[in-house]
């Protein structure tokens, strides 16, 4: 009988089920949505630059957490 914690080719799924990965993903989604909302609030050039930077930071946070889950 196989261990329920085993996945494809004997890899352990305990790392993928770590709650820290999913809380980091939730933070990344929040930051990304904040950057997207800031794009529509004002038409100032500086707000657009700041919102784009926040959006890119949120995307990197999300990618980091997804890659950590897949690892």
CA distance 47 to 2: 55
The answer to whether position 28 is within a domain reads yes
The answer to whether position 8 is within a domain reads no
- Which domain range does residue 49 map to? 15-70
Q: Measuring CA to CA, how many Å separate 26 from each of 17, 49, 51?
A: 15, 23, 18
pLDDT at 1 over 60: no
Calculate the CA dihedral of residues 41, 27, 58, 66 and round it to 10 degrees. Answer: -150
The answer to whether position 35 is within a domain reads yes
Q: Give the total number of structural domains in the chain.
A: 1
Q: What is the pTM of this model?
A: 0.75
The answer to whether position 5 is within a domain reads no
The answer to whether position 6 is within a domain reads no
CA distance 58 to 27: 8
The answer to whether position 7 is within a domain reads no
Per-residue pLDDT tens digits for 34-57 = 999 998 887 888 999 999 999 999
């Amino acid at each position: 009988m196989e261990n329920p914690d085993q996945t494809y080719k004997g890899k352990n799924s305990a790392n993928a089920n770590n709650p820290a990965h999913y809380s980091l993903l939730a933070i990344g989604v929040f930051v990304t949505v904040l950057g997207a909302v800031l794009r529509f609030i004002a038409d100032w050039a500086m707000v657009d630059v700041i919102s784009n930077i926040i959006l890119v930071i949120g995307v990197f946070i999300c990618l980091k957490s997804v890659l950590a889950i897949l690892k």
